[in-house]
Amino acid sequence: MSKANTPSEITLPASDQGWRTVLAFLCAHFHRIAPEVWQQRVLDGKVYWYDSGEPIRLDTLFKPSRRVCYFREVAIEPLIPFEHQLLYRDEHIVLACKPHFLPVIPGGDFVNECLLERLKRDTGLTDLVPVHRLDNETAGLVLFSCNPQSRAAYYQLFAEGKVEKTYQAVAELPPALQQADLPMQWRVQNRIEKSEPRFLMRQWAGDVNADSSLSLVACREHLGLFELCPHTGKTHQLRLHMQQIGCPILWDKYYPELQPKQRGNFSQPLQLLAQRLRFTDPISGEEHQFQSSRQLQSWPL
């Protein structure tokens, strides 16, 4: 059994929709976890109110908008056999480069084997929070806040689109692009919403909420090297936009068709790398430009 070192938090909905107790809400909300598991966590004192620290009991009544803490547990936690890199640290931020397959934060089968927990162990910083996310399958740069007093300023940078993000991707080229004059450029703008299963996304009719600039910058036989600049931050945005131009990212296990999960198979990582971050520091005014030294497996230098 692997137990999280730090608690997770959840805010109860603003109204009771028939749960009556906190336990009933947790069982309904986390429906993939057996009710008896939640019951045992409550009995063991592993669920408590955020503000008071008072333990939740089996009969504790649901209280709208209150915050609850709990410790995540998994029977067997996978280990990711690739190293992360700590690239920069000051009194406000920490920047790291994560390998493929490693999650940024706890989730699913992972409680301690994630970039956040690795960095806490490396730095000794306990109040460390990512200000943006990458998929487990994507490698590259992730920015963390380590100072709660300045944290909102870094969140705001991403919310207002003031961070220039550049990704690198390799894709199988259709015949029409294999002899193209380079560079080739596309601007893809559409609407992306959740699909089924819930971890997948799909393109949808309606107002634009996803915007990317894509450039084909090099070709090697049937493969193309792309530079991708997302102007918005929707989940799986670059994967779907590459698919839309007829160039799905190489070794994508989700799109265009969901592949069976292969636990422990690290041989073909998604060929997508968050390569560069550029922004003006909202506290110091310094111009930051960070670049990953990682290479995509299918496109070695």
The total of other beta-carbon atoms located within 10 Å of residue 236's CB is: 21
Q: Which tokens sit at 2?
A: 């692997």
pLDDT, position 262? 82
The total of other beta-carbon atoms located within 10 Å of residue 233's CB is: 16
Tell me the pLDDT tens digit for each residue of 37-52.
999 999 999 999 999 9
What's the predicted TM-score (pTM) here? 0.87
Tell me the pLDDT tens digit for each residue of 259-293.
988 878 899 999 999 999 999 999 999 999 999 99
Q: What average pLDDT does this structure show over 128-136? A: 94
Closest CA to 239 of 167, 147, 151: 167
> Does residue 211 have an active-site annotation?
no
Question: Which entry of 44, 59, 109, 135 is annotated as an active-site residue?
Answer: 135
Q: What average pLDDT does this structure show over 20-36? A: 92
